[in-house]
Structure 1
């Protein structure tokens, strides 16, 4: 007598079609984990191509952002539930499990619906052979809520390790925040887990912030050029025609600070200008003084984004594809230089949630020589009495204060005098934005999500002697 077929836990019969939101989220995660894409950009491209309605687009966005933000926590939970390392599973199946775990533990979706939808997605996108695994693992995940899972994972831990687990960050990032903020670290890390509302910025001279407010936006707290909360920014005429754009208030503030420093008349340089937000704001601020901006960007496709950001200005500002470490301009050519240096982006984890799991501590070390080289080039590109803004979207000491100190000291030894200005004095409306400098002062600006509602932007202002 033959044995009946063994049940796998997967649904029998015709499989239900996967809803477009979950399929879009899965495809975006595959682009992130298999292709190295940024989650927000990958999803935006998919949503634009597939024309999802507003409800499905919102669901897909939450699935991608949430599963990326808590990826490390979810992976630890999944390994505990599966009883095996995730490296032993097919990568596509792991992404299905992450999406399912987010629905089970962090969304108001009934467990059965969350598990069944994940099984359907696995069967359609990968194959029936993985549906039993997905079903079994997610049912074990559903045995506890998120808080209970975190309690289990953090049992026996303390200090920074416990902080990292409970705020869903790698330990090395939690340690960086603890070193910089002490007791404030938990609040800062928790703020990374709150998705920011879209922030807009006007192009000065082309439109006014009041026009955005009239369209339903709310004026930003400190930047006189920003507004928050208008739904889909692309629906606004001012955004479509280039008179306004999307830009975090922190980025607006560091550009504003550079414009407020006394400096000789002359052309301005945005040395690493991609994707163009700061260049567009600086252009409006410079032209109000009768001056202009040259935008330089080493990557050709990003130089194209800069040109797009500047398209509404007449005459159009100069945009060149150039490597800031090998300047395409003469020394001392500019009165003001903006150097928003390539960095790990640890200050933008609200908007790039997958970045916290993508980066490793050695990534910081790899970037520091480039940052220092670019800062030396920026200083040498500045005329005597001119000002350089050294900016990073990272609070990490190696990318911020250490770079500034190294460059200032090295150039000083070569008899190039560089004065570190009191940067917070140029943002007097922004509270608690000072950060200690290596020479015993508080001359750096450090913005924080939990204090200021912005990305964690760092700013040093340097006057060239």
Structure 2
């Protein structure tokens, strides 16, 4: 009797691209938003298919921890090999969080797994996903919540790791759930003008609520002439506000410094604000390839501000040089989870501990770089106490030449942003990333 070869349909192109992106995210630590943009630019899909890929990738990455727990419960296996796990997670998102008919999600994912991993996993993929499809997402959350404490249940409801939920609850109490839920809603793109080079009207969008430099707009930012020529760029409103706050503080005349400038969004805004006062900005970034990104963001200015590759913990300039210093330090990014869906599962408390040590050294270097009377903005895109107020407290405990300024008072139109003398923005309150800013004056 002749052998029968199973004729399986070839996976459709949008799902193949989504799988390729997710594999890059999980296997090569790629950023989901950047990898999606790169792949879609090459693929030239129709708008409907491109939107499908974007939602499939971002949604799968955002809820990945929850989906992995659902797959473990449905299969009885604690884990799958990464290539199969990625295909299964894409299938779970279609079944539980997208308007894809069950039969279509099942058959398409089986075809994808068979083509990408091997025909031998087709039966397992079909069996596991059928068990997943037996409940909706809410029912799975209820099932997985059995035996969990309140923090554990909140983590499941909002699709975050427990340690992040604990940090939000510590800061916000009962308001934490609203903040965590907002992290699951992708924001509109926010644009910013380079002061002196473009007007907000050129951004062709809705002006931002608090920043006078920005606008929100759907569509591809690269379509705008102001973006094409470097007179505007993409930047969250929260980042605009902390840069603006630094420019509003009283400070002596003198050059400005962006200590950790990559990829260059804040440097581009600060350069225009400095020029308006007759000052110049120096942009410093440790990694040469990120310094190149800073230079690209500053290309609209003529002459362009100087960009150097230098270590902010070992300043390449004399102490006491700068009137204003922006220290937007590397952090866990817990305040930008709307735009970086994979970050919540990629970061761990171990990363936090490593970053805190670096943050303290960078803040000390920033303070040493400030002239007498100069102002330092210590900024993180994270609200976590360990990398915000505790870093400030630890560094200032070893010094007697620094005063803490009232940062919220410089932005009186921004409501509910005071965290003592520090500025704290929130997605659910302000529609921005959860930016933290401490303004410090060197005596």
Q: What TM-score comes out, normalization by structure 1 length? A: 0.93
Name the residue aligned to 1:445. 423
Name the residue aligned to 2:99. 108
Q: How many residues align?
A: 442
Name the residue aligned to 2:403. 419
1:372-411 matches, within 5 Å, as 372-411=360-399
Instruction: Return the alpha-carbon distance in structure 2 between the equivalents of residues 135 and 264 of structure 1.
Output: 68
CA-to-aligned-CA distance 1:8-52 (integer Å, 9 cap, x gap): xxxx74322322211111111111111111111111111122222
Q: Are positions 1:29 and 2:22 aligned together?
A: yes
Instruction: Return the alpha-carbon distance in structure 2 between the equivalents of residues 332 and 146 of structure 1.
Output: 56
Match of 2:326 among 338, 346, 350: 338
1:56-95 matches, within 5 Å, as 56-86=49-79, 89-95=80-86
Q: Are positions 1:461 and 2:439 aligned together?
A: yes
Instruction: Return the alpha-carbon distance in structure 2 between the equivalents of residues 197 and 375 of structure 1.
Output: 32
Instruction: Return the alpha-carbon distance in structure 2 between the equivalents of residues 44 and 231 of structure 1.
Output: 12
Instruction: Return the alpha-carbon distance in structure 2 between the equivalents of residues 323 and 54 of structure 1.
Output: 43
Q: CA deviation at 1:157?
A: 2.2
Match of 1:154 among 145, 148, 157: 145
Name the residue aligned to 2:312. 324
1:422-433 matches, within 5 Å, as 422-433=406-417
Name the residue aligned to 1:370. 358
Paired residue secondary structure (1:84): coil
Q: Are positions 1:50 and 2:43 aligned together?
A: yes
**Mapped contact 1:20–1:52 kept (Cα < 8 A):** no
**Mapped contact 1:444–1:459 kept (Cα < 8 A):** yes
CA-to-aligned-CA distance 1:368-415 (integer Å, 9 cap, x gap): 111011101100101000100000001111100000011111012xxx
Name the residue aligned to 1:8. none
Instruction: Return the alpha-carbon distance in structure 2 between the equivalents of residues 367 and 242 of structure 1.
Output: 32
Structure 1 segments unaligned to the other structure (5+ residues)? 6-11, 436-441
Name the residue aligned to 1:434. 418
Q: Indicate the RMSD between aligned Cα atoms, in angstroms.
A: 1.3
Name the residue aligned to 1:9. none
Instruction: Return the alpha-carbon distance in structure 2 between the equivalents of residues 228 and 364 of structure 1.
Output: 31
Q: Are positions 1:169 and 2:147 aligned together?
A: no
Instruction: Return the alpha-carbon distance in structure 2 between the equivalents of residues 446 and 433 of structure 1.
Output: 5
Instruction: Return the alpha-carbon distance in structure 2 between the equivalents of residues 51 and 453 of structure 1.
Output: 31
Q: What TM-score comes out, normalization by structure 2 length? A: 0.98
Moved >6 Å (runs of 4+): none
Name the residue aligned to 1:356. 344
Paired residue secondary structure (2:398): helix
Instruction: Return the alpha-carbon distance in structure 2 between the equivalents of residues 386 and 107 of structure 1.
Output: 52
Q: CA deviation at 1:322?
A: 0.6
1:305-320 matches, within 5 Å, as 305-320=293-308
Instruction: Return the alpha-carbon distance in structure 1 between the equivalents of residues 394 and 404 of structure 2.
Output: 13
Q: CA deviation at 1:156?
A: 2.7
Paired residue secondary structure (2:142): helix
Instruction: Return the alpha-carbon distance in structure 1 between the equivalents of residues 42 and 308 of structure 2.
Output: 30
CA-to-aligned-CA distance 1:327-365 (integer Å, 9 cap, x gap): 111111110000000101111111111111111112111
Paired residue secondary structure (2:284): strand
Q: CA deviation at 1:125?
A: 1.6
Q: Are positions 1:197 and 2:188 aligned together?
A: yes
1:156-305 matches, within 5 Å, as 156-212=147-203, 215=204, 217-305=205-293
Paired residue secondary structure (1:450): helix
Paired residue secondary structure (1:339): strand
